[in-house]
């Protein structure tokens, strides 16, 4: 299998042009390939396929490292755009893609930054999905601590927790408990967010199926969307500092598409027998 290793602010991917490779990805194959000692190693595998209808240029499939197929990856979308251009699979600078449940538009800027139209954030609980029935005003009680959070979908599920001190948070412990809780039947990506100022946040992320990653594009989008919805953040442009670097998010509020701008990095091309 031919592949390209890429990353978006340290969130790393293997990208496969499956229009050519025609590989049937199984959970076992992906978890073997993602093994950082025995395989290639990555957070997600991204597969490019022919579009399912003529309104789009490509279909975009996303697999977490344990082989679970998911329906959104923001950092991956930027790397996909760069890959398509780099490998001359398209000469377009505006590329329409679709995942299993999300339409997106990729805009290739000249300075290696990619802008992604991530579509409209969804707050309807069934779209996330989130089962609120057992919960009173979105507070989970963990032993003695009460955790207040917000939920939404960016095409994948997100739980946003505002904190004062990011260094003191046990991201993997808290993220894992919330991800496995009865409230999120499909699991959830959990973001811990500190508001620096009206147009600037800092955050850490627990990614569903993975644990803490260096960055998560859809989580950055989700965190800014919640901040703007709660009138805590600017609807002009918000800088998001993640462990692996910074993204810029723009959203004019409900009924508007949300935009993410950031880099994509090509590391190397490879071939692996499968
Ligand atoms: N772990 C996520 C998928 C990848 C999201 C992240 N890599 C991004 O950049 O959006 C999920 O299970 O929904």
Which two three-digit tokens encode residue 162? Answer: 């505002």
Any atom of ligand 1 within 6 Å of the Cβ of 244: no
Indicate the top mutation candidate among 104, 218, 225, 258 to test ligand 1's pocket, ranked by most ligand atoms within 8 A of CB. 218
Which residues fall within 8 angstroms of residue 163, CB to CB, at 6 or more apart?
Answer: 169, 192, 193, 194
Inform me whether the pLDDT recorded for 182 exceeds 90.
no
Which tens digit of pLDDT belongs to each residue from 202-256? 999 999 999 999 999 999 999 999 999 999 999 999 999 999 999 999 999 999 9
Active site residues: 73, 216
> Please, what's the b/e burial string for 195-210 (b: 16 or more CB within 10 A of its CB; e: otherwise)?
beeebbbbbbbbbbbb
Question: What is the rounded distance in angstroms from the CA atom of residue 16 to the CA atom of residue 173?
Answer: 33
CA of 74 to the centre of ligand 1 (A): 7
Question: What is d(CA 120, CA 105) in angstroms, rounded to the nearest whole number?
Answer: 12
Q: For residue 224, give the nearest of 262, 269, 168, 267 by alpha carbon.
A: 262
Cα dist. 188→34, 122, 144, 204, 209 in Å? 20, 14, 22, 14, 9
Mind listing the pLDDT tens digit for each residue in 14-63? 999 999 999 999 999 999 999 999 999 999 999 999 999 999 999 999 99
Q: Cα of 144 to ligand 1 centre, how many Å? A: 30
217 in ligand 1 pocket by Cβ < 6 Å? yes
How confident is residue 144, by pLDDT bands cut at 50, 70 and 90?
confident
Is 6 within 8 Å of 267 (Cβ atoms)? Answer: yes
Q: Which of 7, 151, 207 to mutate to test the pocket of ligand 1 (most atoms within 8 A of CB)?
A: 207
* Full set of structural domains in the chain with CATH: 2-108 (3.10.310.10), 125-258 (3.10.310.10)
Is the CB of 70 inside a 6 Å radius of any atom of ligand 1? yes
What is the CA(218)–ligand 1 centre distance, in A? 6
Q: Is 11 in the pocket of ligand 1 (CB under 6 A)?
A: yes
Ligand 1 pocket, 69 CB below 6 A? no
The one-character DSSP state at 180 is T
Taking the C-alpha atoms of residue 116 and residue 74, their distance in angstroms, rounded to an integer, is 8
Ligand 1 atom closest to residue 221's alpha carbon, by position in its atom list: 10
End-to-end, the C-alpha distance of the chain in Å comes to: 7
Q: Whose CA is nearest to atom 3 of ligand 1?
A: 73
Q: For the chain, what percent of residues have pLDDT higher than 90?
A: 89
ipTM of the complex: 0.92
pTM (2 d.p.): 0.95
């Amino acid at each position: 299998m031919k592949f390209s290793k890429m990353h978006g602010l340290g969130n790393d991917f293997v990208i496969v042009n499956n229009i050519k490779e025609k590989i049937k990805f199984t959970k076992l194959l992906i978890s073997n390939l993602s093994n950082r000692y025995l395989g290639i190693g990555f957070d997600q595998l991204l597969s490019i396929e022919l579009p399912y209808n003529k309104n789009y240029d490509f279909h975009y499939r996303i697999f977490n490292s344990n082989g679970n197929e998911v329906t959104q990856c923001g950092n991956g979308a930027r790397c996909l755009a760069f890959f398509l251009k780099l490998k001359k699979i398209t000469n377009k600078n505006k590329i329409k893609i679709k995942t299993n449940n999300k339409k997106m538009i990729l805009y290739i800027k000249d300075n290696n930054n990619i802008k992604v139209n991530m579509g409209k954030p969804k707050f309807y609980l069934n779209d996330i999905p989130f089962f609120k029935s057992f919960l009173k005003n979105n507070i989970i009680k963990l032993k003695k601590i009460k955790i207040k959070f917000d939920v939404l979908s960016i095409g994948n599920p997100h739980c946003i927790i505002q904190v004062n001190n990011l260094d003191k948070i046990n991201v993997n412990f808290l993220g894992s408990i919330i991800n496995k809780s009865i409230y999120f039947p499909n699991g959830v990506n959990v973001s811990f967010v500190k508001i620096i100022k009206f147009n600037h946040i800092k955050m850490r992320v627990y990614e569903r199926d993975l644990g803490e990653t260096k960055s998560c594009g859809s989580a950055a989008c989700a965190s800014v969307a919640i901040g703007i919805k709660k009138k805590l953040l600017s609807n002009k442009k918000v800088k998001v500092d993640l462990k692996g670097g910074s993204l810029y998010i723009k959203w004019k509020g409900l009924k508007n598409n949300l935009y993410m701008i950031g880099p994509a990095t090509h590391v190397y091309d490879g071939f692996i027998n499968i």
